[in-house]
Amino acid sequence: MKVRATVSPPRSGMFASGTRRDFLRLAAAGGAAVAIPSLVAGCKLNEGVHSDAATGDVLTFDFIKGDIAFLQFFSAYKQLHADLYTQLAATLSSSDFNTTEQALIPQILSHLIVHRETLKGVLGTANQVTVTPTWGSLNFKKRSEGLNLGVQFSDLAAGMWNGVVQSLNSAATAALVLEMSTVDARHSSAVADASTPKSGGSAGFAPNSQDPAYRLSAVGTAIQQFVIERMQFQNPPAEI
């Protein structure tokens, strides 16, 4: 039986510089506490997830719609995720990525585009949502910035899928989530292995035997800094 994760007061920002191992060490498996970015601490579900940095229109995810609201949030996430890898792919020739990393980025991007377009198709015209990415001064050419953030987005996505699957109503939605979860986990592992090949030491393999599970509200808070629109949850289930 799946154990729900809880969110503890964070000790450090998820998107701070560091290795994938450092990031994953913050996330405990199963029912243990999960450290998410500092923005999470003061965020209550019925207050939405927007921050002062968001300057655009309010984008509301109303969970009275059931799985539609979850799918809309997943769609927003995948739009952001795909845009990040689009920016990485566009600067590969002048980046400091190694040869293996450069070969992986376009492959990952193609998968993310499939995810993005699949969710758009599932939602249909009437339920589609659109977000506007904003990356600030992020240097996409530097492994320590652009590539590191790309890996963290894939890690966060895997934790998001794990955290929400218990709240979904439709078996078809749950199946879609599980399929995307395995792809995102492979993405982060592939890039991490290319950057730091498994050696059996502290920098190799994964620090935990299981992936983390994140609340959707925590994920929303984590990515709000990269979205112009002010994302807001309405009528959310207690567990998210």
175-181 long-range contacts, Cβ below 8 Å, gap at least 24? 176/118, 176/122, 177/74, 180/74, 180/115, 181/157
Q: Scan for tokens 């579900």, then name that residue.
A: 45
pLDDT score, position 195: 73
pLDDT score, position 62: 97
Cα distance between residue 85 and residue 99, in whole Å:
16
pLDDT score, position 139: 96
Instruction: Name the residue with higher pLDDT: 223 or 5.
Output: 223
**Strand, helix or coil at 186?**
helix
Instruction: Name the residue with higher pLDDT: 95 or 9.
Output: 95
Does residue 204 carry a pLDDT above 90? no
Instruction: Name the residue with higher pLDDT: 208 or 80.
Output: 80
CA 232 to each of CA 3, 35, 105, 124: distance values in angstroms, whole numbers, following the listed order: 26, 21, 31, 21
Cα torsion through 116, 72, 184, 97, rounded to 10: 60
The first and second tokens of residue 144, run together, are 């320590």
Confidence of residue 53 (pLDDT cuts 50, 70, 90): low
pLDDT score, position 240: 86
Q: Of the ranges 6-10, 83-87, 176-180, 183-187, which one carries the lowest mean pLDDT score? A: 6-10
Instruction: Name the residue with higher pLDDT: 191 or 89.
Output: 89
Q: Where are the domains of the chain?
A: 6-234
**Beta-carbon count within 10 A of 72 CB:** 21
Q: What mean pLDDT is predicted for residues 99-128?
A: 94
Q: Of the ranges 145-149, 157-161, 175-179, 211-215, which one carries the lowest mean pLDDT score? A: 211-215
pLDDT score, position 192: 76
Q: What mean pLDDT is predicted for residues 51-55?
A: 56
In the chain, what percentage of residues exceed pLDDT 70? 71
The model's pTM is: 0.77
Cα torsion through 51, 85, 61, 72, rounded to 10: 180
Instruction: Name the residue with higher pLDDT: 95 or 190.
Output: 95
pLDDT score, position 187: 85
Does residue 48 carry a pLDDT above 50? no
